[in-house]
Amino acid sequence: MPKYLVDPETDIVERQYAVIYTPRKQRERFPENCVEVFPTQEEALQHADPAQNRHPAYVYGPCRSSEGFRLFYLVEWL
Protein backbone atom coordinates (compact mmCIF):
# COMPACT_ATOMS: atom_id res chain seq x y z
CA MET A 1 0.00 0.00 0.00
CA PRO A 2 1.48 3.38 -0.98
CA LYS A 3 2.29 5.88 1.74
CA TYR A 4 1.11 8.77 -0.42
CA LEU A 5 -2.27 9.73 -1.80
CA VAL A 6 -2.97 9.02 -5.45
CA ASP A 7 -5.76 10.89 -7.20
CA PRO A 8 -6.78 8.78 -10.22
CA GLU A 9 -8.94 11.64 -11.58
CA THR A 10 -5.97 13.92 -12.30
CA ASP A 11 -2.52 13.60 -13.80
CA ILE A 12 -0.92 16.51 -11.95
CA VAL A 13 1.36 14.12 -10.10
CA GLU A 14 2.48 11.04 -11.98
CA ARG A 15 4.81 8.08 -11.86
CA GLN A 16 8.02 8.68 -13.77
CA TYR A 17 11.45 7.21 -14.41
CA ALA A 18 14.30 9.13 -12.85
CA VAL A 19 17.86 9.15 -11.62
CA ILE A 20 18.19 10.10 -7.97
CA TYR A 21 21.35 11.55 -6.48
CA THR A 22 21.63 10.05 -3.01
CA PRO A 23 24.47 8.49 -1.03
CA ARG A 24 22.01 6.22 0.84
CA LYS A 25 19.20 4.23 -0.75
CA GLN A 26 17.25 3.82 2.51
CA ARG A 27 15.13 6.97 2.08
CA GLU A 28 11.59 6.91 0.68
CA ARG A 29 11.28 10.53 -0.45
CA PHE A 30 13.67 12.90 -2.15
CA PRO A 31 13.72 16.67 -2.76
CA GLU A 32 13.23 17.88 -6.30
CA ASN A 33 16.83 19.09 -6.66
CA CYS A 34 18.11 15.49 -6.21
CA VAL A 35 15.88 13.99 -8.91
CA GLU A 36 16.37 14.06 -12.68
CA VAL A 37 13.31 12.80 -14.59
CA PHE A 38 13.59 10.83 -17.85
CA PRO A 39 10.87 9.81 -20.35
CA THR A 40 11.82 6.13 -20.42
CA GLN A 41 13.29 3.47 -18.17
CA GLU A 42 16.10 2.88 -20.65
CA GLU A 43 17.20 6.52 -20.50
CA ALA A 44 17.16 6.52 -16.71
CA LEU A 45 19.29 3.37 -16.69
CA GLN A 46 21.74 4.92 -19.19
CA HIS A 47 22.20 8.09 -17.09
CA ALA A 48 22.62 6.24 -13.79
CA ASP A 49 26.07 6.04 -12.21
CA PRO A 50 26.11 4.27 -8.83
CA ALA A 51 29.79 5.16 -8.37
CA GLN A 52 28.68 8.82 -8.36
CA ASN A 53 25.60 8.11 -6.16
CA ARG A 54 23.20 8.48 -9.14
CA HIS A 55 20.69 5.61 -8.90
CA PRO A 56 17.87 4.75 -11.38
CA ALA A 57 14.37 4.63 -9.91
CA TYR A 58 10.65 4.72 -10.57
CA VAL A 59 9.20 7.66 -8.64
CA TYR A 60 5.91 9.38 -7.91
CA GLY A 61 5.86 13.15 -7.98
CA PRO A 62 6.49 15.93 -7.67
CA CYS A 63 4.27 16.36 -4.62
CA ARG A 64 4.10 19.47 -2.46
CA SER A 65 5.10 18.80 1.14
CA SER A 66 3.53 20.52 4.14
CA GLU A 67 6.71 22.63 4.38
CA GLY A 68 6.29 23.81 0.78
CA PHE A 69 9.01 21.64 -0.77
CA ARG A 70 8.45 19.61 -3.93
CA LEU A 71 9.21 15.94 -3.24
CA PHE A 72 9.42 12.73 -5.22
CA TYR A 73 8.42 9.47 -3.53
CA LEU A 74 10.23 6.26 -4.35
CA VAL A 75 8.06 3.59 -5.97
CA GLU A 76 10.99 1.22 -6.64
CA TRP A 77 14.68 1.15 -7.43
CA LEU A 78 15.47 -0.07 -10.96
pLDDT tens digits for range 17-38: 999 999 988 999 999 999 999 9
Quote the percentage of the chain above a pLDDT of 90: 65
Contacts of 73 (CB under 8 A, 6+ apart): 2, 3, 4, 28, 29, 59, 60, 61, 63
Q: What is the mean pLDDT of residues 11-16?
A: 76
- Domain boundaries in the chain? 15-77
Residues 40 and 51: their CA atoms lie apart, in Å, by 22
**17 with 37: CB under 8 angstroms?**
yes
Residue 1 banded pLDDT, cuts 50, 70, 90: very low
